[in-house]
Structure 1
Amino acid sequence: MAVTGGKAAQTPPRRRSLAHRLLPDRGPRRTLATSIFVDALGSGMFMSSSVLYFTRVVHLPMSEVAFGLFAGAMVGLVAGVLGGKVADRWGARETQIAVMVFGTLFMGCYLLVDTFWSYLLVSMLIGVVFAADKSSKAPLIRGFSGNDPAGFRAYLRAATNLAVALGALAAGVAIQFDTAPAYLTLVVGRALSFAGCAMVLRRLPRPAPVPTPPLNGRWEALRDRPYLAATILNGLMSLHFAVPTFLLPLWIVDHTEAPRWLVSGVLILNTVLVITLQVVVSRNVNDSESAGRRMRWAGIAIAAGLGLMLAAKEPSTWVSAALLLTATAVYTLGELWHSAAAMEYSFGLAAPHAQGQYSGIFGLGGGVAEALAPVVLGALALGLGPPGWILLSAVFLAVGFLSRPVVAWALRTSPSAPTGPAVTT
């Protein structure tokens, strides 16, 4: 060891590379994050272009395309619960790899679709894959979360949103070409993302097994009062996820003087804020109490964002645009707080040995909200006008303020209530 003046020379600490600052440390966490990023990249490509592929290449009418997507989502509601149960019983890593392999095969079948019935069948199979993917992934996320589970889950959500945005950009290039080969390339890209995810997951070790209590039931999540209460409340709050993708574009184009390009502007602002702020906003959300506070903040921010969107109806072009951009920023804060609370409820209140089953139940509530959101938001905000916007804001406020006391009550009165606050392992 080199010495200077009788004292050991201090070696300056090496600066961490950009990759080390942006990625989890080498090991299972980085492998899992990589697999999720690859999967989400393909998802962004397909979500942004699927409707155009089916209408412009397969030549299906929009009504049939919509019905196929709805059927796939409904089948997925049940498949998610079963997929989580399989992951708990047979291993989450093996289940995830199998789901990715089937995803590759079924997505490839979209290239062969030429009638409504073949499209409907494949859409239902893909719906099973999408739902089973989410619920079987949850035990892996829990198993490899490390010492900062809330931070790691927030990082994964930010990385997922970045990947979806990049996938959407790739889809935008293909959409600009507007040719059959371009759309077919996107479908192939989605299939390859499933395959790539499966290959990455092969490098992931099996998570440590979680002991199963001897008296646990077959479907214990359905008897867990605190978890069901959180699932219902989260489902109601999840209606807002259709605001930036469904309600706001229609509101901007048909009911305000703002320029039409602002539809893309608010979506980009929403995505950028989610990617950059999710980890920060999710700090210290590590039990049901903190999750309840974030749900309350979420209800306030979402209601305020909706109020600003409504206020953008009457003003001139640029005042309306400014109000809509401000509304999007405020709304996105609510979205971030809701996501942090929902992740804690989903993982922190779940029995560790049955995370897949519990996540399937939690996803069931979110899936119902996703299916109903366009109908509810359209009927209230676009159908009733200002009274509908006010009613929506009141619903989100009420859910936000009720979440903490309702979950606390369920924890106190549940026969299987823990002796302390819910802790994520």
Structure 2
Amino acid sequence: MAVITGLLPDTREQRALAIAHFVNAVGSGMFMAGSVLYFTRIVGLPMTQVALGLFLGAMTGLVAGILGGRIADRYGARETQIVVMIVGAAAMICFTFVTSLGAYLVVSVLIGLVFAADKSSKAPLVRHFGGENPAAYRAYLRSVVNLAIALGSLAAGIALQIDSKPAYLVLIVGRALSFLAGAAMLVRLPRVAPSHTSADSGRWIALRDRPYLAATALNSLMSLHYAVPTFLLPLWVVEHTEAPKWMVSVALVLNTAMIITLQVVLSRNVSDHVTAGVRMRWAGLAVAAGLVLMATAGTQNAEVAIGLLLLSTAVYTLGELWHAAAAMEYSFGLAAPHAQGQYSGVFGLGGGVAEALAPAVLGLAITYGWPAWLLIAAGFAAVGLLSSPLVSFALRRWRPAHL
């Protein structure tokens, strides 16, 4: 019991927020590992149509992210989060009735709105309850989330092996229930007072902050890799390697286990844009190397493919960890404290663009093979190398004096 207590944050509010993240992320892990295969193998939609739904959902979520963050700043982050989670639960249930492209696209748009608003309205809560060491608490929350995703992925692995409609539907319903459980935990948090700023200083200030926009754009390009474990890897393993289908879940568990154990450690000393830029450079190189190893698995027998997929996942995950540390510092460290929700909405806009484009960009590797794999890998390495000098230049040239 003492060991468990030592793993928990110091304050009751931090613990409640961490539990809300945890239960919500369990459902996320279940849904991420099985959703693409559900829509392609059970509903019968081609990969191009599934990618279209992901694209439309992400694009329509862009506006929702900024508005959700601004609403959270002005009217209360806790209340906004609870409403968003309840709507998310309802939207997930709608997915169980999807039998056609039209219905899939409609629900995908609704899910995109929910996911974007969820991220931006959550940020003021994380900042407010972060305590004396907010960077460490943010890293802790990411470890908690990935532990939950690992558990959800284990459940998804069972559904992948059963490979039937009822098994996949359990994953979707589980995602809906996790939304509701997360909302119930947030009720225990005290209300966060809305920020009170003048109309001139608070109205869409993040959209006028060019250094923040530069960091957002670079992070958006790097964030294309987040679709590797949830989109590219499942399709690559199942359709283009000799490895068994359960390797999808094994790779996701390895990915999340590394994040759980290493995120806090690798996020230490990332306290400004300079150290964040160093981590971005490391991230780009690691992600690129992981993709090359993953591509190589497609030309090997089952045993070698399994080994290469495990190695590629480990190398890729180091890149993901370094990128996450840099992104958290850019998102929170460069933001105006009184408008964290709005700034997070803008930062999430970049993530939404990446989410929308990732299936099309990473799907090139499925379609065109080795040349596309190498080109995509080179792109990640280039973004990582350019991030530090570009953000530093933007801060020197354009940082508003009042920030």
**TM-score, normalized by the shorter chain, greater than 0.5:** yes
Deviations 1:43-101 (A, max 9, x none): 223333445666777x5644655544433222212211111111111111111111122
Q: Is the 8 A contact 1:239 1:370 kept in 2?
A: yes
- CA offsets 1:11-36 (integer angstroms, 9 cap, x no match): xxxxx712212221241111111111
What residue in structure 2 maps to residue 6 of structure 1? none
Q: What TM-score do you get using the length of structure 1 for normalisation?
A: 0.84
Partner of 2:201: 216
1:251 deviates by 4.8
Match of residue 409, structure 1, among 387, 393, 403 = 393
**Cα separation, 1, equivalents of 2:103 and 2:171:** 19
Q: CA distance change for structure 1 residues 171 and 266 in 2, over 3 Å: closer, same or farther?
A: closer
- Aligned partner of 1:4 in structure 2 is none
2:48 aligned with 1:42, yes or no?
A: no
Tell me which amino acid in the other structure corresponds to 1:407.
Answer: V
Structure 2: runs of 5 or more not aligned:
none
Deviation of the 1:363 alpha carbon: 1.1
Question: Which of 377, 383, 386 is the equivalent residue of 1:393?
Answer: 377
**In structure 2, distance between residues paired with 1:308 and 1:54:** 28
What pairs up with 1:46-85 in 2 under 5 angstroms? 46-51=31-36, 59=43, 61-62=45-46, 66-85=51-70
Higher relative contact order, chain-length normalized (CA < 8 Å, sep 6+): 2
Cα distance between partner residues in 1 of 2:373 and 2:159: 36
Q: Partners of 2:263 and 2:32 in 1: how far apart? A: 22
Q: Which residue of 2 is the match for residue 191 of structure 1?
A: 176
- Tell me if the contact between 1:144 and 1:207 (Cα under 8 Å) persists in the aligned partners: no
- For 2:304 and 2:173, locate their aligned partners in 1 and report how far apart those are by CA, in whole Å: 43
**Against the structure 1 CA distance between its residues 159 and 305, is the aligned structure 2 distance closer, same or farther, given a 3 Å change threshold?**
same
Q: Could you tell me which residue of structure 2 aligns to residue 7 of structure 1?
A: none
Question: What amino acid is aligned across from residue 299 of structure 1 in structure 2?
Answer: G
CA distance in 1, matches of 2:250, 2:156: 17
Aligned residue in 2 for 1:294 = 279
194, 211, 221: which one aligns with 1:226: 211
* 3-state SS of 1:48 partner: helix
- How far does residue 188 in structure 1 lie from its aligned partner after superposition? 3.2
How far apart in 2 are the matches of 1:315 and 1:37?
37
- SS of the equivalent of 2:201 reads coil
Percent identity (aligned): 64
Equivalent-residue separation in structure 1 for 2:275 and 2:88 (angstroms): 37
AA aligned to 1:334 is G
Amino acid aligned to 2:185? V
CA distance in 1, matches of 2:191, 2:118: 17
- 1:18-417 to structure 2, matched below 5 A, reads 18-51=3-36, 59=43, 61-62=45-46, 66-111=51-96, 117-174=102-159, 176=161, 181-207=166-192, 209-212=194-197, 215-251=200-236, 262-310=247-295, 318-319=303-304, 321-379=306-364, 381-417=365-401
- Taking a change above 3 Å as real, the CA distance of residues 170 and 302 of structure 1, as seen in their structure-2 partners, is closer
Closer, same or farther in 2 for the Cα pair 1:396/1:92, shift >3 Å? Answer: same
8 Å contact from structure 1 (residues 104, 192) kept in 2: yes
The TM-score normalised by the length of structure 2 is 0.88
* Matched letter for residue 20 of structure 2: S
- Describe the SS at the equivalent of 1:206: coil
> Which residue does the alignment assign to 1:10?
none
Per the alignment, in what secondary structure is the counterpart of residue 204 of structure 1? coil
Q: Distance in 2 between matches of 1:386 and 1:176?
A: 29
Give the aligned residue type for 1:147: E
User: 2: distance between equivalents of 1:332 and 1:32?
Assistant: 25
Q: How many residues align?
A: 402
What value does the CA root-mean-square deviation take over the aligned residues? 3.0
C-alpha displacement of 1:280: 1.0
CA pair 185-240 structure 1, distance change in 2 beyond 3 A: closer
Amino acid at match of 1:286: S
The Cα of 1:135 is off from its aligned counterpart by 0.7
CA 1:375–1:52: 2 relative to 1, 3 Å = closer
SS in 1 for 2:183: helix
The alpha carbon displacement at 1:290 in A equals 1.2
